[in-house]
Chain A
Amino acid sequence: MANMQFNYFGKMPIVLTCALFVLGLLFTAQTSAQTKFSIKGRVTDLDGKRITVSIRSSAGMAVPDADGAFEIKLLKLSDTIWFSAVGYQRIYRLVKNENELLNVKMTEAIKELNEVVVETGYQTAKPNEINGTVAVIDEKMLNERSGTNILDRLIGQSSGLLLNVGKSNGNPQNTTNLSVRGLGTINGPLDPLIVLDGFIYEGNIANINPNDIENVSILKDAAAASIWGARAGNGVIVLTSKKGKLNQPLQLSVNVNYVWQELPNIGLLNQMDNNDYINVERQLFDEGYFNNIITQTPYAALTPVVELLSALKNGQINQATADRQLGLLAQGNTRQSYLDHFYTNALTQQYSMNVRGGGAKNSYLFSAAYDRAKDETYGMNNKVNFHFANDFKLIRNLELSTNIYYTNAVNKSGRPAYNTQTVGNRYPAYLNFADPSGLARSYRSAYTDTVAKGKFLDWKYYPTEEYKHSYSKTQNQEFFANVGLKYQLMEGLNLQLSYQYQKQDLNTDNVSDEESYAARNLVNTYSQYNTSTGVVKYIVPRGGIMKQNFQTVSSQTARAQFNFNKLIGVHSVNAILGAEQRGADTRASAFSRYGYVADPLNYGLVDVLNSYPQYLTGNFGELGGDGALSSTRYRFVSFYSNLAYTYKGRYILSASVRRDGSNIFGANTNDKWKPLWSAGLGWKIADEPFYDIPWLPVLRLSVNYGQSGNVDMSRTALPVVSYATQAVTQLPFTRIRTINNPDLRWEQLSQVNVKLDFELATQRLNGSFAYYIKHGTDLYGNAPFDYTKWGSRSELVVNVADMKGRGFDLDLHSRNLSGKNWSWNTDLYVSYNLSKTQKYYNITGAGLYGLISGGDMISPVEGWPLYAIAAYKWGGLDANGNPQGYLNGELSTNYNAMAAEAATTGANLQYMGNASPLYFGSFINTVKWKNLSLSINVNYKLGYQVRKPAISYDQLINYGVGHIDFANRWQKAGDELKTNIPSFSYPNIANRDAFFYNAAINTMSGSHLRLDYIKLSYGLSTAQWKFPFRELTLFTAVQNAGILWRSNPYGYDPDYARVIPPTRQFTFGLRASF
């Protein structure tokens, strides 16, 4: 603890320098002229009540008296006088005459349209009341992108938020792939915390109807997030749903849109030429690669080319037939076959409506939505949402609010996706899925046609039929409701009690009917054929297979919270104090049925205990009961408090503290608790009496520090075992899950944040700049241990790792043009983040070697970024087409020795760069002309490296996966001057292949600009037209419109270089309100 703080003070000079710089700017700007004039007046709120206002002129400041009367000195006439108060709109008055009596009424800011409100989930605040850094995304911005998932709509609408494309960390708590301000952990959970209407949302984020969301607040720094405690280390995304308002006439809104997507461009996946492909298979066959398979497992599937070559070799066909058949195969095209038979244009239809309104005592909202989506492989996703919200003023001082949500989502699998259809575990490039003789998926047809004298079920696989007989269907029903009571105890103090219940049922059916290959294959595998009687005995009954999973998650949260909000003279206090109890229970079960028939519904019984011979291999196997039962529960208790104290409306001191307890299994009670805190200081420089920069009327500096944490519930201090039943012995056994590790602690993440908010006069330009340093200590990391003590692992997870991240977020909003019919606004978001490992143990050797296969996953190596790529220095091809690297500084093709050097000194490696964008953000321009509005968003990601797709001869030989570069390979002497693609050789030299794959030439810069969307909308209002609508907006958009610029010369989309790139989506829709 002390050590960590010390580190922080080590960083303080940066913060101090920053603050001093601003101070210096101010003091030089300050003038010390004589005052000549003064003016009098009175300032109150709209009801004529006195409020704390700061009044400023060129000469200084004034504070109104108890009745709101004031007098202020002026330097000159005319002069501008500013009136500002927390929660009220700023007012400027031009004074030309000293005798004028100014009567100013301040309007509450909240009542103004588009006023930004920050929702922390525990309280609602105005941005200038808190010191934390929070990005607020309003409804208009949420509507810029279409999509059925609310998180998709956040992309590009804020700084600091990054969608990590192509990263695959094996972490169960990494479902959103979103990161807020980079990383805060190495092996801990990566998802930001999602909060809906003040409660942690544990359900499936796809269940939330995006049209129901009024605004989203992203809590970025520790001061903002620490109120959420132990799970806020990765930032918090607070969703706030729409509500009715008091005294609002009934209002009906309707939203309809269609999103149509282009066909995926599978052709972009650089495959090799069919003739080349067939020649490689021929070469492998001639060299005897397939001999082992043919002799050892004569039943195992071979690719069509190998079948032909084998038949030719055995004299079953002649050369002419073989050549003709090979010629026919060369015309096949697996990719085209995928497109023809399995792919379509994805189409999403979204319909939603809401009714809202309110009277003097209550307000209500009812919304409903229906989404119907067909994905690119005909998978269906249908979703229905209902939301019902009511607020009542029950009696004086008592308010009641209720919310009920219901979601029913049904997903059904479609057709096979790219790269799922294999022949004997290979991926031939020349398949035709509609071939009536089927595909030899696992077994050769020569075998399956004659097996058991044809008494077995058809053992062939028909790709274009299989999906009709085998599918999975998931139904997800979610219900949750919350109720809140707010009682005004005295002026400025209220007590809020709230409770939420949530229940989610997830049912999955995996059905393979009796005609499916999956079912036929299983039945045949265990069938026994009596050669003398010709009778087939079925161990697995004929019919289909149905596997079902049921999961129910229910959670309950109860909260009691005091809110205190009081203005005493020049002191303003805003505080909350609360306690919360939250529990989530998950129960799951699964079972399988064999011999399943849907109509008439029936199923058979199987022996899951005894082992039976498998027909082709002769090995014995048990079917095994794959039913499962589980029951888990999490319990949290939290106490929290947040205090903001404002002095003279200029100095804001804030602090929060929270203590979380949870039922971590196997922990000692004391370790179940974790205290977290934050503190911040805000200074509204522009409100100082000495401040005199008229063109910069808003300038505010805040500095804060906070701690949040991460807890991984699976890591414990006592040995923990889980029960299961051994399949063979049928005895219950206990598997050791974790061994006693009494030294484990919670991960600790602290963050320092310095933020400057500014706004130019006439609000032409406003924005904020925030600089932060994140420091993760006691992070979970692996440390080697003597596994003589426990052989299960060579490394144990302990709190050994440290990381540090730093970065900035810049938000700029500019009104470039604003005329009667015209307006042009620009929003610019710039984020920079670099997270480095500070302390970690790597058994594979220190340094760059640990990054050699990096890029897709967090690869912690001390002193290097968490996502980074290193590569072998490239020395070109030698005269025989072998790739060359360096060994002891000399060109070499000794791949084993080079690998050894890389692992030890690492001298033959070079650091290629960060593998996650250093700079990213978006640039949004919105132009309006009368009723027409056009917005264009350009996203950018800069300063990172990605792996370039490259040919792997290992993949080609062992899996039949080719690459277009094959055609450019070294083939004859002299080619080394023209190409960097090594010669093809068999047998493959694994380390040569690995060297080439990991060489510097196979990485590329990922920097690019992407046209994220162009949206055109046309709005009509009753003011102009006689319509039944109050408002009608028609809109159309192109999403993911294309890459504008990329720095790699190969034409790859760097985020999707090795997968099918997403295609353009076209949206058409209308929004109307009545």
Chain B
Amino acid sequence: MKNSKQLLLILGLFMLPFLGCKKYLDQKSNDSLVVPKSLTDIQGILDDAAIINLRVTPSYNEHSSDDFFMLPASYASYNPAFKPIYTWQPTVYNHGNDYALGYNAIYNTNLSLDLLKAVERNGVNAAPWDNIKGSALFIRAYYFLMLTSQFGLAYDEASSAQDLGIPLRLDTQFDKPSVRATVAACYQQVIDDLETSVGLLPDYPQHLMRPSKGAALALLARCYLYMHQYELALKYAEDALLLNNKLINYNGDPDLLALTSTVPIKKFNKETIWYAEMSGGFGANSTTRARVDTALYLSYANNDLRKTAYFRAIAPYQQFKGNYTATANIYFSGLATDELYITRAECKAFLNDVEGGMADLNLLLKTRWRNTVAYVPLVGMDRIDALNKIRSERRKELLYRGLRWEDIKRYNKEGANLILKRVIDGQTFTILPNSRNYALSLPDDVIRVSGMPQN
């Protein structure tokens, strides 16, 4: 009996340290890990540039554009599974794609917004709190807009309330099924998000990879332009230019290197409002495969410095090198002032301010013109002529930025009747204006798992 009491005592003594085992097991297994809660944690989710900014933005639109072509040898060695996208046919593909990259960034924004709900906004944290909310809304809007323009038909007042866009996921609840919203709903979501973010974001960002009020205004201008709402597009382009109206002068600028060099323009230059890079996608338009459309190249005047800065001859064709990314094979897909000038010009011309539109255009083009040769301003004969000239210059200034595809769709909705054509081994492929194929195929695996309708 005595023994067993002694035993119990010893047993008790040695079990004592283990009573603290809950605390022992609550120790963090990795010091760099956190379950995100604080504003710093949440801001960090939006500062993950590899998810939000770098080589992740949609690129299939650019794969389908008419600014480039593939050499027959490049096409022959190109992955057969991806060939259809080059000829505007439905394409079957799985994970590891624009859609996944886009919704990866969207998850980050939704997670940030969900986590932010648990943090009370007060006098002390108002600025970072607002920045997070504004940034998340801006980034989500950017991806919604770019994905909608890629996977949905162009905006059309008459049909967009029925046309299918993309799923609008607005939180991180996993049990909610994905449902494709209409194109109209997608644009409305983009506008709602951006308009809220304008009131939250700072005028200028801490770094160009972070959103700012200027970026939100510039994206609103792009969005309204896509919706053919030229008054609003003009308003937002003007608002954005109030914050930054700088242009690089191609005759000499701290943001330039030698125009002949592989990388003529510096990264984070004065024109950049928000910095983003296009994903490599299926690689159809990678520098090694893609050559610049010959007619497009020939449309640059010899004293247009962009002809030197943007192109590199690989006889007999031209390769594009005019990126704002300081890397020859990475395309810029963010927001910049040159786009705003051209948008403003187009809006003015569309709204019958021919002179104003041409003035904006010339303002931009003059910075691209060799200063030893007199610049002769372009003149718009009438509204149509001005629009044509501005739209032609829009293509020449903004090529390889992921904008051309939506521009073609938009112009065709206004009756431009642009018919794209590719000739491969004697076979001609075309895409007719307003074809269903202007809404590119969604990933096959997502369609299978989610049951959403394919385009």
| Interface positions of A (Cβ within 8 A of B) | 288, 292, 295-296, 489-490, 493, 495, 497, 558, 560, 562, 579, 581, 583, 611, 613, 617-620, 629-635, 637, 639, 661-666, 669, 672, 713, 718-724, 726, 728-737, 739-740, 784-794, 843, 896, 987, 991
Q: Assuming A729-B209, A733-B48, what are 18 further A-B pairs, CB within 8 angstroms?
A: A495-B10, A579-B15, A579-B18, A613-B263, A617-B328, A618-B261, A631-B31, A631-B32, A720-B33, A726-B49, A728-B209, A734-B36, A787-B445, A789-B107, A792-B100, A792-B104, A987-B73, A987-B76
7 A-B pairs in the complex with CB atoms less than 8 angstroms apart: A489-B3, A562-B11, A730-B207, A733-B44, A733-B45, A733-B47, A733-B49
Q: Is B427 an interface residue (CB 8 A)?
A: no
Kindly identify which residue among B45, B178, B288 contacts A788, using a CB–CB cutoff of 8 Å.
Answer: B178
Q: By the criterion CB–CB under 8 Å, are A665 and B30 in contact?
A: yes
Kindly identify which residue among A288, A617, A637, A719 contacts B24, using a CB–CB cutoff of 8 Å.
Answer: A637
Q: By the criterion CB–CB under 8 Å, are B18 and A637 in contact?
A: yes
Q: Is B85 an interface residue (CB 8 A)?
A: no
CB distance from A562 to the nearest CB of B (A): 7
Q: Is B177 an interface residue (CB 8 A)?
A: yes
Q: By the criterion CB–CB under 8 Å, are A713 and B25 in contact?
A: no
Q: What CA separation (Å) do A634 and B31 show in the bound complex?
A: 11
Q: Which chain A residues lie closer than 8 Å to B14 at the CB level? A: 495, 497, 560, 579
Q: Which chain B residues lie closer than 8 Å to A991 at the CB level? A: 80
Q: Which chain A residues lie closer than 8 Å to B47 at the CB level? A: 726, 729, 731-734
* Closest partner residue, chain A, to B54 (CB atom): A728
* Closest partner residue, chain B, to A559 (CB atom): B14
Q: Which chain A residues lie closer than 8 Å to B21 at the CB level? A: 581, 637, 661
Q: Is B117 an interface residue (CB 8 A)?
A: no
- Which residues in window 1-57 of B have CB below 8 A to A? 3, 6-7, 10-11, 14-15, 17-18, 21-22, 24-36, 40-42, 44-45, 47-51
* Closest partner residue, chain B, to A988 (CB atom): B77
* Closest partner residue, chain A, to B313 (CB atom): A295
Q: What CA separation (Å) do A270 and B100 show in the bound complex?
A: 43
Given contacts A663-B29, A729-B47, contact A785 B449 (CB under 8 A): yes
Q: By the criterion CB–CB under 8 Å, are B41 and A721 in contact?
A: yes
Q: Which chain A residues lie closer than 8 Å to B263 at the CB level? A: 613, 618-620
Given contacts A619-B327, A635-B24, contact A613 B257 (CB under 8 A): yes
* Closest partner residue, chain B, to A579 (CB atom): B18
CB distance from B308 to the nearest CB of A (A): 14
Q: By the criterion CB–CB under 8 Å, are A790 and B44 in contact?
A: no
Q: What CA separation (Å) do A581 and B21 show in the bound complex?
A: 8
| Interface positions of B (Cβ within 8 A of A) | 3, 6-7, 10-11, 14-15, 17-18, 21-22, 24-36, 40-42, 44-45, 47-51, 73, 76-77, 80, 94-96, 99-108, 111, 167, 169, 172, 174, 177-178, 206-207, 209-210, 257, 261-263, 266-267, 287-288, 314-315, 326-328, 445-446, 449-450
Q: Which chain B residues lie closer than 8 Å to A843 at the CB level? A: 94, 445
Q: Which chain A residues lie closer than 8 Å to B169 at the CB level? A: 788-789
Q: Which chain B residues lie closer than 8 Å to A793 at the CB level? A: 95
Q: What CA separation (Å) do A635 and B28 show in the bound complex?
A: 9
Q: Which chain A residues lie closer than 8 Å to B95 at the CB level? A: 787, 793-794
Q: By the criterion CB–CB under 8 Å, are B10 and A788 in contact?
A: no
Given contacts A581-B24, A729-B209, A787-B103, contact A632 B29 (CB under 8 A): yes
Given contacts A734-B45, A791-B102, contact A786 B34 (CB under 8 A): no
Q: What CA separation (Å) do A718 and B49 show in the bound complex?
A: 23
* Closest partner residue, chain B, to A495 (CB atom): B10
Q: What CA separation (Å) do A635 and B45 show in the bound complex?
A: 28
Q: By the criterion CB–CB under 8 Å, are A620 and B167 in contact?
A: no
Q: By the criterion CB–CB under 8 Å, are B99 and A791 in contact?
A: yes
Q: By the criterion CB–CB under 8 Å, are B32 and A729 in contact?
A: no
Given contacts A630-B31, A631-B32, A661-B21, contact A719 B111 (CB under 8 A): yes
Q: Which chain A residues lie closer than 8 Å to B50 at the CB level? A: 735
Q: By the criterion CB–CB under 8 Å, are B34 and A620 in contact?
A: no
Given contacts A558-B17, A619-B262, A786-B450, contact A734 B34 (CB under 8 A): yes
Q: Which chain A residues lie closer than 8 Å to B41 at the CB level? A: 721, 734
Q: Which chain B residues lie closer than 8 Å to A613 at the CB level? A: 257, 261, 263
Q: 5 closest Cβ contacts across the A-B interface?
A: A618-B262, A794-B95, A791-B104, A734-B44, A791-B103
Q: What CA separation (Å) do A686 and B22 show in the bound complex?
A: 50
Q: What CA separation (Å) do A670 and B27 show in the bound complex?
A: 15
Q: What CA separation (Å) do A611 and B326 show in the bound complex?
A: 9
Q: Which chain A residues lie closer than 8 Å to B177 at the CB level? A: 786
CB distance from B152 to the nearest CB of A (A): 14
Q: By the criterion CB–CB under 8 Å, are B103 and A788 in contact?
A: yes
CB distance from A627 to the nearest CB of B (A): 13
* Closest partner residue, chain A, to B262 (CB atom): A618
Q: By the criterion CB–CB under 8 Å, are A620 and B30 in contact?
A: no
Given contacts A736-B45, A787-B446, contact A632 B25 (CB under 8 A): no
CB distance from A929 to the nearest CB of B (A): 56
Q: Which chain B residues lie closer than 8 Å to A583 at the CB level? A: 24, 27
CB distance from B192 to the nearest CB of A (A): 20
Q: Which chain A residues lie closer than 8 Å to B445 at the CB level? A: 784, 787, 794, 843
Given contacts A637-B24, A663-B28, contact A791 B10 (CB under 8 A): no
Q: Which chain A residues lie closer than 8 Å to B36 at the CB level? A: 719, 721, 734
Q: Which chain A residues lie closer than 8 Å to B327 at the CB level? A: 619-620
Kindly identify which residue among B31, B44, B314 contacts A295, using a CB–CB cutoff of 8 Å.
Answer: B314
CB distance from A728 to the nearest CB of B (A): 7
* Closest partner residue, chain B, to A493 (CB atom): B7
CB distance from B187 to the nearest CB of A (A): 19
Q: By the criterion CB–CB under 8 Å, are B33 and A786 in contact?
A: no
CB distance from B200 to the nearest CB of A (A): 18
Q: By the criterion CB–CB under 8 Å, are A292 and B288 in contact?
A: yes
CB distance from A904 to the nearest CB of B (A): 13
Q: What CA separation (Å) do A386 and B197 show in the bound complex?
A: 66
Q: What CA separation (Å) do A560 and B95 show in the bound complex?
A: 52
Given contacts A787-B446, A987-B76, contact A663 B17 (CB under 8 A): no
Q: Which chain B residues lie closer than 8 Å to A672 at the CB level? A: 25
Q: By the criterion CB–CB under 8 Å, are A721 and B45 in contact?
A: yes
Q: What CA separation (Å) do A783 and B39 show in the bound complex?
A: 33
Q: By the criterion CB–CB under 8 Å, are B48 and A663 in contact?
A: no
Q: Which chain A residues lie closer than 8 Å to B15 at the CB level? A: 560, 579
Q: What CA separation (Å) do A896 and B7 show in the bound complex?
A: 76
* Closest partner residue, chain A, to B268 (CB atom): A728
Kindly identify which residue among B32, B35, B178, B207 contacts A666, using a CB–CB cutoff of 8 Å.
Answer: B35
Q: What CA separation (Å) do A724 and B103 show in the bound complex?
A: 22
Given contacts A617-B262, A618-B263, A734-B48, contact A633 B33 (CB under 8 A): no
Q: What CA separation (Å) do A632 and B207 show in the bound complex?
A: 31
Interface centre among A296, A493, A579, A736 (most CB of B within 10 A): A736
Q: By the criterion CB–CB under 8 Å, are B446 and A735 in contact?
A: no
Q: Which chain A residues lie closer than 8 Å to B287 at the CB level? A: 296
Q: What CA separation (Å) do A672 and B77 show in the bound complex?
A: 52
Kindly identify which residue among B27, B49, B174, B328 contacts A789, using a CB–CB cutoff of 8 Å.
Answer: B174
Q: By the criterion CB–CB under 8 Å, are B288 and A664 in contact?
A: no
CB distance from A747 to the nearest CB of B (A): 18
Interface centre among B21, B80, B207, B210 (most CB of A within 10 A): B21
Q: By the criterion CB–CB under 8 Å, are B27 and A722 in contact?
A: no
CB distance from B49 to the nearest CB of A (A): 5
* Closest partner residue, chain B, to A631 (CB atom): B31
Q: What CA separation (Å) do A633 and B169 show in the bound complex?
A: 37
CB distance from A323 to the nearest CB of B (A): 29
Q: What CA separation (Å) do A794 and B96 show in the bound complex?
A: 8
Q: By the criterion CB–CB under 8 Å, are A489 and B7 in contact?
A: yes
Q: By the criterion CB–CB under 8 Å, are B25 and A633 in contact?
A: no
Q: What CA separation (Å) do A292 and B77 show in the bound complex?
A: 13
CB distance from A294 to the nearest CB of B (A): 11
Given contacts A630-B31, A731-B207, A791-B99, contact A581 B18 (CB under 8 A): yes
* Closest partner residue, chain B, to A620 (CB atom): B326
CB distance from B69 to the nearest CB of A (A): 16
Q: By the criterion CB–CB under 8 Å, are A661 and B25 in contact?
A: yes
Q: Which chain B residues lie closer than 8 Å to A493 at the CB level? A: 7
CB distance from A798 to the nearest CB of B (A): 12
